[in-house]
Amino acid sequence: MKGWSTHTGLAVRLALDDVDTDQLIPARFMSRSRADGYGDQLLHDLRRDARGEPDPDFPLARHPQASVLIAGRSFGSGSSREAAVYALVDAGIRVVVASGFGDIFAANAVNNGLLPARVDEVDRVRLDDAVGERAVRAAVSLERATVSLDALTVAFELDDTRRTKLINGWDDIDLTLAREADIARFRERRRREASWAWPAPDGPR
């Protein structure tokens, strides 16, 4: 996974609250291979009208090149399916801005290079108003923890561990391996301090 510290792209508004993981990728599509991609199934049912036909006025249909999604409240709640993040990433989304995220969704997002940028509700509304029905050029900085749309810049919340993972392109395993030397030193110290807890060199007797 490639890391990043800044991103520029088109931002669109998804004017919906409580978009859960089943809406992001309905369970009936999750049997397909990861190699086949999930992007065309992102928000499958929400992107269709009452007859089941694709809605040309849906924001991501009008602006398929968008990479920043200005969402509503409580984004990515529901089941823990990582495929919800796959669908967003495969559709070209790199940043989702919302005033709240499902905890597991946010963790899955970071492990796949997707930024869950949490802003307060006042700033979310300001961003929502700035985008409106258009696609607006956005600039995102992980180091400054800001999202900028034209002249409007707002701060988002992101803990240092998740920032480090995104900048370096790390998942949880990579993050652990980055501390391999510290882990080895700890093991050696524990071996000396609590030798009774370690098996004998030739195994248990």
More confident residue, 201 or 72: 72
Tell whether 20 and 58 lie within a shared domain. Answer: yes
Are the beta carbons of 24 and 43 closer than 8 angstroms? Answer: yes
* Average pLDDT score over residue span 155-175: 92
Q: Which is nearest to 6 in space by CA: 145, 136, 135?
A: 145
Around Cβ 134, how many Cβ atoms within 10 Å? 13
The answer to whether the CB of 69 falls within 8 A of the CB of 12 is yes
- The better pLDDT of the pair 168, 188 is held by 168
Q: Which domain holds residue 20?
A: 6-169
Please say if the pLDDT value at position 97 is more than 60.
yes
Q: How many domains does the chain have?
A: 2
Q: What is the mean pLDDT of the chain?
A: 92
What pLDDT does residue 9 have?
A: 97
Give just the sign of the alpha carbon dihedral 118, 120, 124, 130: negative
Residue whose C-alpha is closest to residue 67's, from 150, 15, 6: 6
- Same domain? 157 vs 196: no
pTM, rounded to two decimals:
0.88
| In contact, 157 and 118? CB cutoff 8 Å | yes
Same domain, 156 and 105: yes
The whole-angstrom separation of Cα 166 and Cα 159 is 11
pLDDT at res. 202: 65
Mean pLDDT of 128-148: 96
Do both 86 and 127 map to the same domain? yes
